[in-house]
Amino acid sequence: MKTPLEIFDVKSFLGEISEASTKFVKGAELFAGIDEIDVGTAPKELVYEEDKLKLYHYKPEGAVTCGVPVLIVYALVNRQYMLDIQPDRSMVRNLLQHGMDVYIVDWGYPTKADMYLGLDDYINGYMDNCVDHIRKSAGVEQVNLMGICQGGTFCGMYAALYPKKVKNLVTLVAPFDFSTNDGLLFAWAKHMNIDALVDAYRVVPGDFMNSGFLRLMPFTLNIRKYVDMLDVIEDREKLLNFLRMEKWIFDSPGQAGECLRQFIKDCYQGNKLVKGEMKIGDRVVNLKNITMPLLNIYASGDHLVPPAATKPLNDLVGSTDKSLYEFKGGHIGVFVGAKSQKELAPAISKWLHDRDKSKPAAKAAKAAKAKAPKAKVGKGRKQ
Amino acid sequence: MSGTQDYFNAWLKAQQEAFGSVGEMTRKFQQNLSGFGSTGGAMPGFGGAMPGFGGAMPGFGGTMPGFGGAMPGFGGAMPGFGGFQDAYAAWEKSVSDALRGSGAADANFIRETLLKSFSGSNAYMKLYELWLPLFKAIQQKGASPDSFKDLIDPAKFKEMIDRVFGFNPDAAAQLAEQVKTLLESCAHSSQGFMKPWMEASEKGFRTVPQMMEGHPESFMKVFHTMFGAFDSTVGRVFHAPAVGKDREKVELLLRSLDVLSVYLAKNTEFEHTMYVTGLAAFEQLIAAVADKVNKGEEFKDFGEFFNLYITVNEKAYSVLFQTEGYAKMQGALLEAALNVRTHTFKLTELYLYDLPIALRSEMDDLYKTVHELKKKVKGLEKRLVEVRA
């Protein structure tokens, strides 16, 4: 009978150790040569800011062929540059190349001074101000809203409260029906004392949120990922890609306590959006008020926001023109996967173009530039 | 001092009179006893000389001749106990009257004291009166040999006792009811105090097996339950009207230790669950490797083994994480940890209270005010733009 050690091909095993050591040394040299991990490199201009929020307008890449600008709203928990993580994996660049006029919200990093910011401030305040700014500066009555993850939920809330300001609604992996327990976050959040959390932290640290995300797949996300890194450690570009993702994952802003409190209580624990009981400020959010065209994109392998939480939106809205799009992949893959770049961004662009009945885009964009107010910001800043 | 002397003179005089009365009463008592036993016959065992009680008693200021003499039997009428009572009453009256009549200015305090003492003695007389019927009953019965037979017969004994004490089933039931009510009343009033301790003790006892098995969190649980009992009973004294920051610190410190104990218990429970899951996963991994060995197979490279390691472990924890029990345990652990954090902040604030620095809660208030003001201003600005448009 063989001893346990004999289950390995010892010669091969020693060769692997030698190879890994060599990779590690070379990788260390590469690491030492990397000064900065560049993310969000698509040219953009700061056009509006309020408190810690910033609204950026991307420089068009070629002719703008869709007359209605797109406002991208990302989640509060991570940074919006995920949509432009690197030049060859950039949904923003992809949309720009497809003739879209793109704006993006940067929620910033809340501090203790922002602990009392609630959903009312985010939806009725910041989001509405951004939309108004775009409407005014672009010279349009309506904007296209494209919300991702929690940002998609925000867009749904906004569209229900201000349907006249939204031309089309695009949601990507955005949760609406929180009754499901398919995703661990959904199951765990139901047993979380959010009051205790907010009272203890005021602004809940991003590290706290990350610890929860990393626990979803502890061995894959905490061990395998770093062992697999050895496979790319010798290649500067691949290593940079890896590091960009790492930077994004751990670049997690804190969560304004009151906003998180209401989001967890009303959505994860109360499922009030679906029940039509959710109140933002003094107004009830009725998803039936969403009557504009809807493109709802979900990822079949999403472990963060399971399809069971995203798909029901199409049955809850009042829209007649609504599409459900299945992306075969995971949550992160929707934004950065190679498949996403090839498949998803063009599909979104096409869907929006199909519903664009405005004037020729280039003309509209020109008009928008001419009318763009400089209020609040003073002057645009290149980023 | 003269007043005091008068008082003692009066006191001695009263004593003489009183004992004179006692002597007289004793004499009457003896006479009565001589004729005692009219209901029964002779009782030779009780008869006989009783010498030695006679003689001088100089310390009381007089002779007491009356206790000597023959006591041939218990036959005859029995006014004796009443006579003794009268003697006591006469003694008390004499002393009291003498003291009242002494007119000693300095004796007021002593007089009052003695009067109160006499009043206290009255209590003994009352007690004596209370038992008097029993004594009489015993005398009446005791004089007859048949009565002793009756006492041997349980039924008769009961009948006699019932007669003596006036007991009957109804009275007994009534008495039992009264006792029960009293006990219930006492129990009710003490229940609020004792119940938490009893429950905590019970919980503590239940934790003993865990302690014996070596679960470290069990100690924390015992501490927590006992603190709970303390908090709802004795600890309430801390909730009395504020007496300053020191009292608050002590209370908060105790409470902080309690929440820490809860956290430690939850954390141990959590870690135990994670450990057990990991152990089970490791056993599966070893079993899978052993299976390979048994089949004569080998891992081609590290990656193959690593894949197996990750897959087996991830699956084991995934199964655990999807249970509601885990979600609840994790939620409870988080809450316990946050509770510790909150208490730490509160305690820190209390200790920093006297320093000229802005405290967390004060900054919270400030942030709230700023937030509300900003919101108002923004709202007004928006309205202004709308009006202008």
Q: What is the pLDDT of residues B217-260, one digit of tens each?
A: 777 778 888 888 887 777 766 666 556 777 788 888 989 999 99
Task: Say whether residue B386 is in contact with chain A using an 8 A CB cutoff.
Answer: no
Copy the structure tokens of residue B176. 């039992």
Contacts of A16 in chain B (CB under 8 A): 301-302
Residues B278 and B375 in one domain: yes
pLDDT digits (tens, 9 = 90+) for A175-186: 999 999 888 999
Residue B63's pLDDT is what? 36
Q: How far is A186 from chain B (nearest CA, A)?
A: 10
Q: Tell me, what's the ipTM?
A: 0.84
Q: Is residue B76 part of a domain?
A: yes
Contacts of B331 in chain A (CB under 8 A): 188, 191-193
Q: What is the number of alpha carbons within 13 Å of residue B185 lying toward its C-beta?
A: 6
Residues of A annotated as catalytic are: 149
Average pLDDT, chain A: 89
The residues, ordered by sequence, that sit 6+ positions from A64 with a Cβ below 8 Å of its Cβ are: A99, A100, A101, A361, A362, A364, A365
Q: Is residue B64 part of a domain?
A: no
CA distance B253 to B276: 34
CB B222 within 8 Å of CB B230: no
Contacts of B388 in chain A (CB under 8 A): none
Q: Do A200 and B335 touch (CB under 8 A)?
A: no
Task: Say whether residue B368 is in contact with chain A using an 8 A CB cutoff.
Answer: yes
CATH number of A44-205+254-370: 3.40.50.1820
Residues B220 and B313 in one domain: yes
Average pLDDT, chain B: 71
Looking at B100, B129, B158, the residue that finishes a domain is B158
C-alpha to C-alpha distances, B122 to A348, B108, B116, B134, B185, nearest whole angstrom: 107, 21, 10, 19, 31
CA distance B39 to B48: 20
Q: How far is A28 from chain B (nearest CA, A)?
A: 22
Q: Is residue B180 part of a domain?
A: no
Q: Is residue B265 part of a domain?
A: yes
Report the residue from A121, A190, A219 with minimal CB separation from B310: A219
Residues B203 and B148 in one domain: no
pLDDT digits (tens, 9 = 90+) for A273-292: 999 999 999 999 999 999 99
Q: Is residue B168 part of a domain?
A: no
Q: Do B299 and A7 touch (CB under 8 A)?
A: yes
Residues B130 and B212 in one domain: no
Residues B233 and B293 in one domain: yes
Q: Is residue B189 part of a domain?
A: no
Residues B135 and B219 in one domain: no
C-alpha to C-alpha distances, A220 to B198, B309, B318, nearest whole angstrom: 49, 11, 11
Residue B5's pLDDT is what? 60
Q: Do A12 and B300 touch (CB under 8 A)?
A: yes
CB B359 within 8 Å of CB B285: no
Residues B243 and B313 in one domain: yes
pLDDT digits (tens, 9 = 90+) for A345-377: 999 999 999 998 754 444 455 555 545 444 444
Run of H or E residues at A54: strand A53-58
Report the residue from B289, B298, B342 with minimal CB separation from A199: B342
Looking at B136, B158, B180, the residue that finishes a domain is B158
Q: Is residue B317 part of a domain?
A: yes
CA distance B284 to B306: 14
Number of domains composing chain B: 2
Containing structural domain, residue B209: 197-388
Q: What are phi and psi of A84, to 5 degrees?
A: -145, 50
Q: Is residue B19 part of a domain?
A: yes
CB contacts < 8 A (A, B): 97
Phi-psi label, residue B55: left if phi above 0, alpha if psi -120 to 50, beta otherwise = left
CA distance A204 to A198: 7
Q: How far is A90 from chain B (nearest CA, A)?
A: 31
